[in-house]
């Protein structure tokens, strides 16, 4: 009886620890989704063409963010291991490597993205009516690339120390800035009647370019704030130390992050190909697809919020050499994610029309997007478990097999099946979203089998 009560208390403590780490990340994800909702809704007021122009490069933005996220995971994995093993000096050296990574990656990605800006919409198969706006939007948001990389990588460093609140606060500032600037830059000067009073609101009237400018300024602010937060964090602050390369630690961070970089680049290229296939369905269908993707984001916020916690706690447990704790934490957070995302999936299934109507009033787009959302809502619990499994494997530095599975699934399941549905059978948007669900189910199945086998619980030395 005593052992049972002890196990119950340990599980309660673990749930409290998970929730304490997860809630700031969940709030952060919610803030990011909120600002994307607001931006999309504001752009949606300009018409379906404007929504399509902004949505066209969404998957390309995932692609260019991929190396930053991957290197962030590499640094997070190493630092969380160091902190679990109480090797704090190595954690600080790893933080210095993150500064070097940010600078090099930011410069390279900035030059590369601005170079392809004039040609990208045409490469993606966009109609001529949206090419100019799509190109302009992409170029503006890629201009502050160094700050975008800093936001992602330094945020990962802070989370590796268990500091989830600071990235949340920085994102709050970034999102409020973005919303205010969106309001001022997208629309022209308007007069609003409030009872007997008339209120004149001045705006720049830049349309799609205004939305991009707001995002660019917000990225710049968040990148600077993350950098200052890194210097103030006692566990990883490089204050008083030289910013110099440490080859063994850099290699270790890259060895974890590089496979993820390859995976994200290849799968995001798959997303680009996937989007180009969807554009064949026409502007309205693509607008419905883009808006539905945005609407869905709110419903996997809990999963991605808990993913950062899963990575940090898994790394800490491995650093402590506590395999029992690692297993209990993994099972617990998987269970929580499935329960929570079952609830969010149910809400999405019941109210897809409401979600679509936030972003557009076009009845064709609303109807088409709502049908797609109902399809994906059924798979939300599985997607939640998949997100957590990826977080656990990333946290312990076991990335190679998940990377291979992700690439295989994207190109072998999603791309091939979508091409067949659109090109051979002339099916519509619903078939495309079924292909997306099939991709997620395939990845979950393979990773869950690997999780059950336990081969990922290997001992990594520092």
Q: How far apart are the first and last CA of the chain?
A: 39
Q: How confident is the model at residue 196 (pLDDT cuts 50, 70, 90)?
A: low
Residue 10 has pLDDT above 70, yes or no: no
Tokens of 1: 């009886």
Residue 461 has pLDDT above 60, yes or no: no
Q: Which of 77-91, 164-178, 199-213 has the lowest mean pLDDT?
A: 199-213
Question: Model confidence over 92-133: pLDDT tens digits?
Answer: 999 999 999 999 999 999 999 999 998 888 887 777 778 888
Strand pairing category for 190-194 and 197-201: antiparallel
Domain positions in the chain are 2-453
Question: Model confidence over 332-381: pLDDT tens digits?
Answer: 999 999 999 999 999 999 999 999 998 888 999 999 999 999 999 999 99
Angle at which helices 400-409 and 380-395 cross, to 10°: 150
| pLDDT, position 195 | 62
Do residues 286 and 52 make contact, with C-beta atoms less than 8 angstroms apart? yes
| pLDDT, position 349 | 96
DSSP 182-198: HHHHHS--EEEEETTEE
Tokens of 372: 């797609």
Q: How confident is the model at residue 417 (pLDDT cuts 50, 70, 90)?
A: very high
> Rounded mean pLDDT of the chain?
85
Give buried/exposed letters for 102-126 (b at 16+ CB in 10 A, else e): beebbeebbeebeeebeebbeebeb
| pLDDT, position 401 | 83
Strongest mean pLDDT among 152-166, 270-284, 302-316, 432-446: 432-446
More confident residue, 271 or 346: 346
Pick the closest to residue 415 from 281, 296, 277 (CA basis): 277
| pLDDT, position 327 | 84
More confident residue, 45 or 175: 175
Number of Cβ within 10 Å of residue 341's Cβ equals 26
Residue 390 has pLDDT above 60, yes or no: yes
Question: Model confidence over 35-55: pLDDT tens digits?
Answer: 666 776 777 777 777 777 777
More confident residue, 45 or 275: 275
- Contacts (Cβ under 8 Å, ≥6 apart) of 272: 59, 60, 63, 124
Do residues 11 and 332 make contact, with C-beta atoms less than 8 angstroms apart? yes
Q: Which of 274-283, 310-319, 385-394, 427-436 has the lowest mean pLDDT?
A: 310-319
Residue 11 has pLDDT above 80, yes or no: no
Residue 76 has pLDDT above 70, yes or no: yes
Question: Model confidence over 206-265: pLDDT tens digits?
Answer: 888 888 899 899 999 999 999 999 999 999 998 888 889 999 999 988 888 888 888 877
Q: Exposed (0-12), middle (13-18) or buried (19+): which is 320, by Cβ within 10 Å? A: middle
When pLDDT is averaged across residues 433-453 and rounded to a whole number, the result is 93
What pTM was computed for the model?
0.75
Residue 8 has pLDDT above 70, yes or no: no
| pLDDT, position 364 | 92
* CA distances from residue 350 to 18, 164, 215, 251, 445 in whole angstroms, order as listed: 29, 32, 32, 48, 27
CA distance 352 to 350: 6
Of all residues in the chain, the percent with pLDDT exceeding 70 is 91
Q: How confident is the model at residue 192 (pLDDT cuts 50, 70, 90)?
A: low
DSSP 356-373: HHHH---HHHHHHHHHHH
């Amino acid at each position: 009886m005593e052992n049972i009560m002890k196990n119950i208390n340990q599980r309660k403590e673990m749930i409290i620890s998970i929730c304490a780490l997860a809630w700031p990340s969940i709030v952060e994800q919610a803030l990011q989704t909120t600002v994307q909702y607001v931006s999309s809704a504001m752009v949606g007021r300009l018409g379906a063409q404007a929504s399509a122009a902004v949505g066209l490069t969404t998957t390309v933005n995932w692609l260019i963010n991929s190396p930053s996220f991957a290197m962030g995971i590499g640094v997070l994995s190493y630092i969380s291991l160091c902190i679990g093993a109480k090797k704090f000096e190595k954690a600080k050296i790893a933080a210095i490597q993150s500064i070097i990574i940010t600078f090099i990656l930011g410069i390279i990605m900035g030059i590369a993205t601005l170079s392809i800006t004039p040609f990208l919409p045409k490469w993606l198969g966009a109609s001529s009516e949206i090419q100019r706006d799509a190109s302009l939007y992409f170029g503006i948001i890629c201009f502050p690339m160094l700050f975008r990389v800093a936001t992602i990588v330094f945020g990962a460093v802070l989370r590796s120390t268990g500091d989830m609140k600071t990235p949340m606060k920085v994102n709050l500032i970034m999102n409020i800035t973005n919303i205010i600037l969106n309001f001022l830059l997208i629309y022209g000067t308007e007069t609003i009647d409030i009872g007997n009073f008339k209120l004149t609101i001045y705006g720049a009237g830049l349309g799609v370019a205004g939305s991009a400018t707001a995002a660019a300024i917000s990225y710049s602010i968040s990148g600077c704030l993350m950098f200052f937060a890194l210097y103030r964090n006692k566990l990883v602050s490089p204050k008083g130390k030289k910013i110099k390369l440490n080859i063994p630690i850099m290699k270790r961070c890259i060895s974890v992050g590089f496979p993820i970089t390859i995976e994200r680049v290849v799968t995001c290229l798959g997303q680009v190909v996937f989007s180009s296939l969807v554009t064949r369905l026409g502007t309205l269908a693509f607008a419905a697809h883009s808006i539905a993707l945005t609407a869905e984001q709110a419903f996997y916020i809990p999963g991605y919020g808990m993913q950062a916690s899963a990575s940090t706690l898994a790394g800490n447990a491995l650093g402590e050499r506590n395999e029992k704790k690692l297993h209990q934490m993994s099972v617990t957070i998987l269970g929580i994610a499935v329960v929570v995302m079952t609830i969010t999936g149910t809400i999405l299934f019941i109210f897809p029309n409401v979600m679509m109507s936030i972003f557009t009033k076009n009845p064709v787009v609303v109807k088409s997007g709502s049908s797609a959302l109902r399809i994906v809502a059924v798979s939300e619990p599985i997607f939640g478990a998949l997100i957590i499994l990826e977080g656990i494997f990333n946290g312990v530095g076991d990335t190679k097999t998940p990377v291979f599975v992700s690439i295989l699934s994207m190109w072998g399941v999603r791309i091939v099946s979508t091409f067949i549905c659109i090109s051979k059978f002339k099916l519509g948007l619903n078939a495309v979203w079924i292909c997306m669900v099939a991709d997620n189910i395939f990845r979950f199945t393979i990773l869950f089998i690997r999780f059950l086998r336990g081969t990922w619980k290997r001992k990594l030395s520092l």
